[in-house]
Homo-oligomer: A and B are copies of this chain.
């Protein structure tokens, strides 16, 4: 069982979600395709278990965080840790928190985040919504990352930055009367860092939360 998950994660890490097939996995395990069904009832369950397996490591990282006297700073540190893990494993974005039933570690992570809100002056409903908002920011930012890059980028014929620049160039050629905003931000878009984008989104949410909590 353990090795099924380890190899599944290895496949996901090496070549993304489409690479994880029962046939590829069976080959790596040196067995038949049907064997996997003894450990797992469906591909969905395989994905859920593989996801929870790596979320376990993220959870350990989060538990190792020092912690401070400011719950909102602690929330930020946890969310950043989680996002970092997704940056390194883009496929995580699509499956994380999909099924809190099987995904026990996801639930523990949810609890860890939520516990910080207990230190804030909020109603239960506000706490529930606050944690949803934070995981939403993480997932919303991560979905971008989860997309398979076009094959030119995978080939190495074109770098990720060049790919962005090509987009930016197309935007620059748009009519500036019709697209004033696109022109305003095209230089920011060109070569932008996904992590910066995430941190800004997170900071807006946390600023709103701080205001709400009067902290």
Q: CB-CB contacts of A103-116 with B at 8 A, as 1s and 0s?
A: 00001001101110
Contact surface of A with B, Cβ cutoff 8 Å: 98, 100-101, 107, 110-111, 113-115, 117-118, 124-133, 135-141, 143, 147, 167, 170, 178-182, 184-185, 187-189, 192, 196-197, 200-201, 203-209, 211-212
A140 to B139: give the CA distance in the assembly, Å.
Answer: 5
A203 to B131: give the CA distance in the assembly, Å.
Answer: 14
State whether B189 touches A128 (Cβ < 8 A): yes
List the B side residues contacting A107 at CB < 8 Å.
Answer: 179, 182
A139 to B117: give the CA distance in the assembly, Å.
Answer: 23
List the B side residues contacting A100 at CB < 8 Å.
Answer: 167
From A133, A135, A189, A192, name the one whose CB has the most chain B CB atoms within 10 angstroms: A133
A205 CB contact (under 8 Å) in B110, B184, B188, B205: B205
